[in-house]
Amino acid sequence: MKKITLLSVFLFGILACTSQKQEHTSQEKESTQLTQSPLESKNLKGLEESLKFLTSDELMGRDVGSEGLEKAAHYIQGVLKKNGIKPYLNKSYLNYFTVGEHKTSNVVGYLPGENPDLPPLIIGAHYDHIGIVKAVDGDEIANGANDNASGTATVLELAKYFSGQKLQRNVIFALFTAEEKGLLGSKHLSESLKKQDIKPYAVFNIEMVGVPMKGKDYLAYITGYNNSNFTEMFNNMTEKETLGFLPEAQDMNLFKRSDNYPFYETFKIPAHTICTFDFTNFDYYHHVNDEYKEINIHHIQNLIKQIQPGLLGIAQSSKNNIQLNN
């Protein structure tokens, strides 16, 4: 997530209670694994593989301009290619631009729908992070597991799922770079699409979904809740209260702090981010301890499973019923 000021975090702390680190016993993990079908176990293996690679010290925190971020981009490209996702722009998955003196790239692929005249759905997440920071107990690599390897791995698993589905509209899978530098990757992609007269139908951005929320009757909150009828339409498709309203997200104006926002600015379309990090359930925002071991992989797997019907419903619909309010 784009950097949030200390004042914002302080204000949020007044609104929310102090978090405690979530712990799972090995017995609970074993019980969860025993109830999984072979397909779910296979999917968990792929999710685990992506998360472990993206959060490895080899990638050095995935900062813009680093060799680690470039390795992450090529890994993402490989997953998309392996699963039949086509390159979207200029016959390449890598959508290059410069940030200062650094060359960097979004990774963008798509699956074609039967009706290309329908505006496309974008499913996205940023894959960059903040790189090397002040050392804590000798560790200076901010691995960015929750922020945002969790969202990136979720998009990759959704791409695998969609590759076997019949679609009406094109579905674009966009992994953004330079989010931590000011949403620059999503700005670049939105401008590139505008130049080609491609106006998306909706944007579903995934940010920091590595830990579950507590005490909520929904699975994830959505930013810009009141901006459109997206949540209502989505929950009708999932037949559950999958997405919900978090007042603190509105108070902190999180709608403008992730990669959904440039698309809203450019096109004035329904563009939202979903998230399960609410500043009370994870202690390591922009911290070296934001590592794989702190992530609840079964929660992510469940989230993926729960949001699939909503996203597939949008992709398979020939109607454009999701609209901005007023």
Secondary structure (3-state) at 103: strand
- Residue 180 placed within a domain: yes
Question: In this structure, what CATH number is given to the domain that contains residue 56?
Answer: 3.40.630.10
- Residue 14 placed within a domain: no
Q: Both ends of the chain: CA-CA distance in Å?
A: 28
- Residue 173 placed within a domain: yes
For Cα atoms 138, 141, 144, give the angle at the middle one, nearest 5 degrees: 135
Tell me the two tokens of residue 88: 């979207």
- Residue 324 placed within a domain: no
* Spatial CB neighbours of 149, under 8 Å, sequence gap ≥ 6: 50, 51, 54, 55, 127, 129, 143, 210, 292, 295
- Angle between helix 67-82 and helix 150-162 axes, rounded to 10 deg: 20
- Residue 293 placed within a domain: yes
Query: What's the pLDDT score for residue 253?
Result: 96
- Residue 323 placed within a domain: no
Per-residue pLDDT of the chain (326 residues; tens, 9 = 90+): 665 554 444 444 433 433 443 444 333 333 333 345 555 666 799 999 999 999 999 999 999 999 999 999 999 999 999 999 999 987 899 999 999 999 999 999 999 999 999 999 999 999 999 999 999 999 999 999 999 999 999 999 999 999 989 999 999 999 999 999 999 999 999 999 999 999 999 999 999 999 999 999 999 999 999 999 999 999 999 999 999 999 999 999 999 999 999 999 999 999 999 999 999 999 999 999 999 999 999 999 999 999 999 999 999 999 999 999 98
> What is the number of structural domains in the chain?
1
Residue range of the domain that includes 85: 35-316
CA 66 to chain centre: 21
Tell me the two tokens of residue 252: 């902190």
- Residue 218 placed within a domain: yes
DSSP letter string, 267-325: H---EEEEE---SSS-S-TTSTT--GGGS-HHHHHHHHHHHHHHHHHHHH-SS----B-
Query: What's the pLDDT score for residue 38?
Result: 58
- Residue 284 placed within a domain: yes
